[in-house]
């Protein structure tokens, strides 16, 4: 392999085959704080807790805080990998581009496909929950009755309306998107954190019926139920933290493109860890396990109802709704940037690589992705097995994320192999930790597929299998030299 240095232009310049006269993404638009807010909103703590915490408790019982903590560590290792890879190559394709240039172009393309598939799956699931939460909020206000709120058709239509709204914002411009995300993330964080702290205080001070004493044992790895519980739990835990890497996909639109996105991703991880651990401990302190599992996706609102009367508990519905809408938008956002980068490299349909001269966004590609998600939303929401579909989608997305996070960690250690021993920072943060994090996440993905079996794992299997002929087609129909470029390794700066 050629041992050469790489520093890509963060603006889609000649290296990507785009002339300076062509419309490009709007550079230097986002600050470090903007990018951190988007990274945090992308993970959507209120949505994640509402959609996932009951599944986590059903899997590992009172060991859910331990799983959250265990899951944080390998994903943090990958956040370090993103930081170091982005320092040398700030491309909006992020892991797709990095893998293609440092590991193998076929693996890079396949990874871009997996990330796009995971994003589309999520954009199918999340708007449906947004629709359900919107109707639940309207029912709480007394504006509609229970039968109307439970209508699957209306849920699908309202969810579709939210998808159209956030897609329009993504198309319109990154500044509007960032401002919207600031509002959404402040609402959900303040509400979730306030209720979580209140729940802990109430459980400790008043010991209401069904509550239990706070225990440090909940944070111990021994509480997760062995290897089976560890693998299944971490797959859900990875989903908890998924989304911070959106910051890397916005590098070409961020000030200090080579450093700010990576820092934003790492900062967001610690911010998320705090709120997830506080909420998990609070929920377990206040509610019995069977109640947590039985409430399902309604858990967070039920939790708020135990702590505050109406209309104050409606704030939790508002937080969940804002979180769900925000994360739908910030999942569509990186998918549009990844497909744009792939099209810019000449290995994806050309329309995904077109930048709107007016908005400076990949408008056409964003619209296509939104339409695909909208069709999937209508199909899954109108299905009688919608609840099971949500559960399967979350598990499947967790495995897909574990794959593309994991392989990025391995790629970072490989790309920096020639300079790992030049400093302890390089060795530990760019080498050892990304490598260990990547290996662990691959093990988790494998264990979940084996334990779940063929049926529940079918979306994962289809995604991986479909990626093989697609990458072959990309190679056959591509007129660029993408698949012929020699891989590179990073040299001293």
316, part of any domain: yes
Does residue 2 fall inside a structural domain? no
Sign of the C-alpha dihedral computed for residues 374, 376, 379 and 382 taken in this order? negative
Q: CA-to-CA distance for 324 and 337, rounded, in angstroms?
A: 21
* pLDDT for position 228: 78
Contact yes or no for 177/318 (Cβ under 8 A): no
Asked, for residue 15, whether it belongs to a domain, the answer is no
Query: pLDDT truncated to tens, each residue of the chain (493 aa)?
Result: 334 444 433 334 334 444 446 788 999 999 999 999 999 989 889 988 988 899 899 999 999 999 999 999 999 999 999 999 999 999 999 999 999 999 999 999 999 999 999 999 889 888 988 898 899 889 988 899 989 988 989 999 999 999 999 999 999 999 999 999 999 999 999 999 999 999 999 999 999 988 998 999 999 998 887 887 888 888 888 888 989 999 999 999 999 999 999 999 999 999 999 999 999 999 999 999 999 999 988 899 999 999 999 889 999 999 999 999 999 999 999 999 999 999 999 999 999 999 999 999 999 999 999 999 999 888 887 765 544 555 566 667 878 888 999 999 999 999 999 999 999 999 999 999 999 999 999 988 888 788 777 777 777 888 899 999 999 999 999 999 999 999 999 988 7
Contact criterion met (CB below 8 Å) for 174 and 250: yes
Domain assignment of residue 19, yes or no: no
Residues 6+ apart with CB under 8 A from 455: none
How many domains is the chain partitioned into structurally?
Answer: 1
Range of the domain at 147: 28-484
Residue 319 main-chain phi, psi, to 5 deg: -65, -45
Report the distance separating Cα 491 and Cα 105, nearest Å.
Answer: 20
Residue 493 located in a structural domain: no
What CATH number has the domain bearing residue 121? 1.20.1740.10
489 found inside a domain: no
- Residue 187 maps to a domain: yes
Residue 51: predicted pLDDT: 81
Whether residue 63 is contained in a domain is answered as yes
CA distance 389 to 401: 18
- The torsion region of residue 142 among left (phi > 0), alpha (psi -120 to 50) and beta comes to left
Amino acid 15: pLDDT: 42
- Quick one: pLDDT at residue 16? 45
- Residue 254: beta bridge partners? 30
d(CA 178, CA 227): 40
Predicted TM-score (pTM) of this structure: 0.90
């Amino acid at each position: 392999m050629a041992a050469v240095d790489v520093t890509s232009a963060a603006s889609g310049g000649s290296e990507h085959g785009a002339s300076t006269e062509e419309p490009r993404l709007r550079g230097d638009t986002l600050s470090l704080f903007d990018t951190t807010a988007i990274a945090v909103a992308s993970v959507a703590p209120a949505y994640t807790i509402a959609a996932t915490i009951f599944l986590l408790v059903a899997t590992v019982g009172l060991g859910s805080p331990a799983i959250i903590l265990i899951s944080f560590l390998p994903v943090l290792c990958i956040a370090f990998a993103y930081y170091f890879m982005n320092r040398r190559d700030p491309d909006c394709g992020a892991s797709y581009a990095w893998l293609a240039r440092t590991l193998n172009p076929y693996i890079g393309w396949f990874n871009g496909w997996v990330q796009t598939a995971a994003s589309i799956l999520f954009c199918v699931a999340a708007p449906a929950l947004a629709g359900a939460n919107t109707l639940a909020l309207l029912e709480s206000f007394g504006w509609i009755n229970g039968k109307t709120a439970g209508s699957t058709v209306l849920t699908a239509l309202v969810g579709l309306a939210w998808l159209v709204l956030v897609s329009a914002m993504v198309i319109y411009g990154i500044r509007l998107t960032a401002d919207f995300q600031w509002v959404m993330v402040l609402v959900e964080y303040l509400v979730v954190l306030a209720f979580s702290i209140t729940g802990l205080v109430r459980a400790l001070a008043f010991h209401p019926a069904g509550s239990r004493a706070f225990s440090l044992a909940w944070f111990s790895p021994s509480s997760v139920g062995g290897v089976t519980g560890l693998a299944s739990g971490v797959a859900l835990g990875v989903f908890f933290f998924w989304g911070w890497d959106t910051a890397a996909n916005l590098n070409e639109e961020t000030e200090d493109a080579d450093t700010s996105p990576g820092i934003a991703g790492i900062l967001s991880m610690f911010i998320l860890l705090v709120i997830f651990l506080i909420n998990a401990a609070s929920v377990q302190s206040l509610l019995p396990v069977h109640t947590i599992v039985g409430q399902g996706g309604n858990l967070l609102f039920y939790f708020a109802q135990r702590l505050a009367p109406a209309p104050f508990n409606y704030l939790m519905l508002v937080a969940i709704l804002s979180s769900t809408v925000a994360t739908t938008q910030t999942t569509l956002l990186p998918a549009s940037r990844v497909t744009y980068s792939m099209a810019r490299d000449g290995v994806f349909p050309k329309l995904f690589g077109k930048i709107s001269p007016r908005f400076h966004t990949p408008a056409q590609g964003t619209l296509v992705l939104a339409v695909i998600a909208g069709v999937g939303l209508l199909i899954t929401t109108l299905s009688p097995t919608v609840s099971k579909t949500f559960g399967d989608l979350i598990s499947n997305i967790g495995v897909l994320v574990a794959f593309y996070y994991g392989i990025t960690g391995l790629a970072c250690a490989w790309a920096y192999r020639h300079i790992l021993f030049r400093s302890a920072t390089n060795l530990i943060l760019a080498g050892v930790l990304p490598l260990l994090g990547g290996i662990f996440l691959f093990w988790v993905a494998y264990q979940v597929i084996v334990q779940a079996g063929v049926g529940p794992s079918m979306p994962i299997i289809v995604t991986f299998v479909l990626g093989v002929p697609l990458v072959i087609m990309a190679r056959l129909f591509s007129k660029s030299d993408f698949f012929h470029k020699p891989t590179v390794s990073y040299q001293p700066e």
